[in-house]
A and B are shown apart, each in its own frame.
Chain A
Amino acid sequence: MRTDNLILLKTVSSHYQVELSFFTHLQDLGLIEIEIREQSPYVHENQMHNLDRMIRMHHELEVNPEGIDVVFNLLQKIENLKKDLNATQNRLRLYES
């Protein structure tokens, strides 16, 4: 069985001192994907950046998984608005130059 680029959830759980149920809750909300290999749960390494942020929010700001979901959605909206603003500013440059 290949587990390349997969990280055992137990390892993540003990490293960050977070209950395993926290991860299943995040999965239920569609925030992360957990893969089961030989009855052990894993996460793909490309999810670690976001997972790390979620854990920080949980630990440091006491935000629960539902709150994290809301925050991530709003941050995504901000990101999209920033992109729109940037595109509009670039378009404005056309008329200013």
Chain B
Amino acid sequence: MAFIDYYKILEIDKSATETDIKKAFRKLARKYHPDLNPNDKEAERKFKELNEANEVLSHPENRKKYDQYGENWQHGEEYEKARQQQQRYQSDGGQQGGFGGAGDYSDFFESMFGGGASRGRGRTAAFKGQDFNAELHLDLKDVYTTHKRTLTINGKNIRLTIPAGVENGQVIKISGQGAEGANGGPKGDLYLTFNIENHTNFKLDQHNLYSTVDLDLYTALLGGEITANTFDGKVKLTVKPGTQNGTKVKLKGKGFPVYKKEGEFGDLYISYQITIPTNLTEKEKELFTELAKLRTI
């Protein structure tokens, strides 16, 4: 457990007045407030530090104690006496409430001031609970259809509907699934980040899917019918005679579902890759030579 320099956290010096402290706190709180920095863990950590520093320095008694024993908090009877006195003060009715939510103090703070330090502000405010962040790993196939899934977050089972078409890296907010609020405040929210792995032969770009289909030389030359895979089954395709390598065909509505737009799908683009026969027999070579001659005439 290390000593925490609350003056340094608030970027003020030891001679700072109450007004200086308030000003410094407000300035930094505006920079690191969680509402202004959603999903930013570093800002959240910094904001907690600021709160703690403010709890101590904005309250004259706490500040006095911190200045007197802070750096040497591990030693001395004086400190222990002061700590016991502090605890008596709390049980006599030290106020709760104030800025930024309860709990989440450092070990240093807990050791010096106990779990519920007296706070300088009079209002007992209700605060929203902490937001939770979680990551959900899914396969691309999993998000082709809307489905329900049960997740365990902080020991609590949450039944969720995973909407079809959710994208890799997308964050969805599930209201009220965060930590309990303080003083009757609302629960925090859960921010769920989707991490979607693609193990299919399809490439996905937004809602459109891309795939490559091998086409034998003869079908490419003469045309015909082939069967190609789509994401949810097979389709028959008519190949035009004289199809070139790399030709793309678009299958409308055979792409990926569009997020939160039921029944709406992207397109599937199939590229033909013409395969040239190898290991030709003597007869085949003869016939190809014949064909080549016909072409050069």
Contact = CB atoms under 8 A, between A and B. Distances in A.
Given A62-B26, A94-B203, A94-B205, A86 B36 contact: no
A52 B187 CA distance: 11
Contact of B123 (A17, A57, A87, A90): A17
Contacts of B204: 90, 94
B169 A49 contact: no
B163 to A, nearest CB: 15
- Chain A facing B: main interface SS: helix
Contacts of B210: 94
B36 A75 contact: yes
A60 B210 CA distance: 50
A9 B30 CA distance: 27
A29 interface: no
A49 B33 CA distance: 16
A59 B38 CA distance: 18
Contacts of B175: 49
Interface string B158-201: 00000000011110000100000000001001000000001000
Interface residues of A, number: 24
Contact of B169 (A53, A59, A71, A89): A89
B203 A52 contact: no
A17 B167 contact: no
A35 B51 CA distance: 37
B167 A86 contact: yes
Contact of A61 (B30, B126, B167, B169): B30
Given A61-B29, A94-B205, A86 B99 contact: no
A26 to B, nearest CB: 15
User: Of residues A59, A63, A90, which shows the largest number of chain B Cβ atoms within 10 Å of its Cβ?
Assistant: A90
A60 B29 contact: yes
A40 interface: no
Interface in A80-97: 86-87, 89-91, 93-94, 97
Interface in A57-78: 57, 59-63, 71, 75
Given A49-B175, A61-B30, A94-B203, A87 B167 contact: yes
14 contacts: A48-B186, A49-B189, A57-B33, A57-B36, A59-B125, A60-B99, A61-B30, A75-B36, A87-B167, A90-B169, A91-B206, A93-B168, A94-B205, A97-B198
Interface of A: 15-17, 48-49, 52-53, 56-57, 59-63, 71, 75, 86-87, 89-91, 93-94, 97
Interface of B: 26, 29-30, 33, 35-36, 38, 99-100, 123, 125-126, 128, 167-170, 175, 186, 189, 198, 203-206, 210
